[in-house]
Structure 1
Amino acid sequence: MKRDKLPIAVFVSGRGTNLQSIIDAIEAGRLDAEIRLVVSNRSKAPALQRCERHGIPYEVIPSKKFETPEKWGEALIEAVKRSGAELVVLAGFMKVVPANFIEAFKNRIVNIHPSLLPAFKGLEAQRQAFDYGVKLTGCTVHLVTPELDSGPIIAQAVVPVLPNDTPETLAARILEHEHRIYPQVVQWFAEGRVRVDGNKVWVDGARYGTLPFNPELEKF
């Protein structure tokens, strides 16, 4: 029996490499999702060129055009509802999402962050980890809550820090893991397997206790 595709909206601000990983997974038939809308706060975001190449609708909704975060949030809510998206995927969206938007799509907004949260929240997490001298870092996919980079964790990937690393080489290896783990998490949502239990999130039927990805990736 063919599974219905999960309608999603992807929010971007920059290059859009995580957006591209989702596009590639959909086009390869590995991800049962449909990108109904891409939203950017920047009209010149390179990610929008990816939308044009793949025929994906997009809107530019910059926060600076609105008097308050709440009014910006209302515009974002309207755009996502109009698209019919059921999951919002933040993929390098470099603005704090308004609280009213988070409330409107509670437990239906995911973000990917380039550290093993709760360590190294905020900007330049890869450089934070490098400067601190940790021996393991990685990336985290989590639900979005009003507190920055603090929502319930869905999945994580571990990346070792090597003696000859620079912040740039470390960030590049983390990004490789991001491009695998993010489409997988979206697929788990598409399969209806993501279960929220208070401040914890579990994927029903997934295999836990594996590295570098926990839970273990199944299709990516």
Structure 2
Amino acid sequence: MNNQSSIKPDPRIAIFASGNGTNFEALVNADLPAPICVLVCDHADAPVIQRAKRHQVPVILSVAKKGVSKAQREQRLLQDLAPFHVTILVLAGYMRIVGETLLKVFPRHIINIHPALLPSFPGRHGIEDAYQAGVKVTGVTIHYVDGGVDTGEIIAQAAVYRSEQDSLASLEAKIHAVEHQLYPQTVSQLIKKGVL
């Protein structure tokens, strides 16, 4: 970000994803007030890469390698991102903890979606953990990313009610349906307000 000038750059989005990419798809299909310039993925065979190709969104692979530290990998990623001039990182099923290297460059401009009502059930198994705990209400949280695991300031939440009939699969489907509405709406509002 340019500190020499008070002119704020136009918002430009990079989406980070690791898996299937249904939230990536929901964001691409939404009428966001900023362009999605690139997908960052940490798995070379993740289905989200095919989705990006279908939508003609460029892909940066940032795969963890032995002997390469998180800081080194993120430094390389910043170099790869530079030509896209992105200002916002939107994590959509990205299964890595973001390190200091990215946090310093994008302060309060990295957001994440989590399939539970934080601070309950953080971590990568939020849906299963809530299901196993037998809670009647779970949901979706959108939050700023900090150095912890799902510990950043909460931006938006939506409840998802679990019925007696719900299996883990049906609860997961309900949660994903809410994610696909809430995430694009929230990203859009934050950009329109000039927060991102």
TM-score (norm 1): 0.81
Shift of 1:102: 1.5
Report matched runs for 1:1-220 at 5 Å.
Answer: 6-25=11-30, 30-64=31-65, 67-194=68-195
Residue deviations 1:96-153, cap 9 Å, x none?
A: 1222211221100000000000000002111111111111000100000001100000
What is the DSSP-based 3-state SS (H/G/I as helix, E as strand, rest coil) of the residue aligned with 1:37? strand
User: Retained in 2: the 8 A contact 1:8–1:88?
Assistant: yes
Structure 2: which 5+ runs fail to align? 1-8
Deviations 1:57-91 (A, max 9, x none): 11111121652111012122223333111110001
What secondary structure does 1:48 align onto?
helix
Paired residues of 1:5 and 1:190 also in contact (CA < 8 A): no
> C-alpha separation between the residues in 2 aligned to 1:116 and 1:194?
23
Distance 1:185 1:63 in 2: 30
In percent, how many aligned pairs have the same letter?
36
Contact kept, 8 Å, 2:33 with 2:188, in 1: the verdict is yes
Inter-partner Cα distance in structure 2 for 1:129 and 1:24: 29
The structural deviation recorded for 1:32 is 1.1
Aligned partners of 1:114 and 1:126 also within 8 Å:
yes
CA distance 1:69–1:192, change in 2 (3 Å): same
How many angstroms apart in 1 are the aligned matches of 2:66 and 2:58?
Answer: 21
Change (3 A) 1:6 1:66: farther
The structure in which a higher percent of residues are strand is 1
Aligned-partner Cα distance in 1 for 2:19–2:67: 21
Moved beyond 3 Å, runs of 4+: none
CA RMSD of aligned residues (A): 1.6
1:186 is displaced (CA, Å) by 1.2
Query: Structure 1: where are the runs of 5+ without partners?
Result: 196-220
Distance 2:143 2:109 in 1: 10
- Check conservation: 1:5, 1:32, Cα contact below 8 A: no
Match of 1:175, as an amino acid? Answer: H
Distance 1:90 1:66 in 2: 25
SS in 2 for 1:190: helix
Residue of structure 1 in register with 2:4 after alignment: none
User: Structure 2: how far apart are the matches of 1:189 and 1:65?
Assistant: 37
Counterpart amino acid of residue 7 in structure 1: R
Secondary structure (helix, strand or coil) at the match of 1:96 reads: coil
User: How many residues are treated as equivalent by the alignment?
Assistant: 188
